Amino acid sequence: MAGMTVDGIYQLLLNQFGEEQIRQLHTESKDPWIEVAAGSIASVAEHVKSTPELAFDLLCNLTGVDYFETSPKLVAKFPYTPHVEVVYHLYSIRHRHRLVLKVHLPRWQDETPGRLPEIPTVSHVWGIADWHEREAFDLVGIHFLGHPNLVRILCPDDWVGHPLRKEYELPLEYHGIRGK
């Protein structure tokens, strides 16, 4: 027994939240996805988990992606405005349906290099988001507002920068260890 389609889920969310919060349905990729406004992700997450016909009780993955390409070939092939995304892969055990939500964020808050983009946490909705959000913070540099313990999870506490940012440069040395 399969659950709802992404089109049906999109319509439910659009009816509940409107176009300002549920931005777009993207069906051209292998995994169709719904774009959610950054400020609305926590309320949308609560809704998709608690609404019985949706019941997305499992956050399979949450990750951050940096879309900043410097290769002219790739920019020509995949044109986009540089940004970062938070991607949520959800599953309903009861209904056996899947959902991918994405939130687009500017690479830097207020276009100020070094000021991390911000998005509300969903760690109060799915407990596992605590770890996933820490990883996205640590490696991609996304600040999750309201997170109960937003500290590095993979890099040492005194590490400078976010290693999965496209402009990141590995330090020449870290505590006496050569990096390059």
pLDDT tens for each residue of the chain, 180 residues long:
467 999 999 999 999 999 999 999 999 988 999 999 999 999 999 999 999 999 999 999 999 999 887 666 666 666 678 899 999 999 999 999 999 999 999 999 998 988 999 999 999 999 999 999 999 999 999 999 999 999 999 999 999 999 999 888 888 888 888 876
In this prediction the pTM is: 0.92
**CATH 3.30.460.80 corresponds to the domain 6-178:** yes
The dihedral over CA atoms of 30, 31, 32, 37, expressed in degrees to the nearest 10, equals -140
Which among 66, 65, 73, 87 has a CA at the least distance from the CA of 166?
66
Domain map of the chain by residue range? 6-178
Count H helices and E strands in the chain, helices first: 4, 9
Pairing between strand 173-174 and 177-178? antiparallel
- Residue that has been written with the tokens 């089109």 in this structure: 7
Give how far Cα 39 sits from Cα of 12, 124, 173, 178, Å: 19, 15, 38, 41
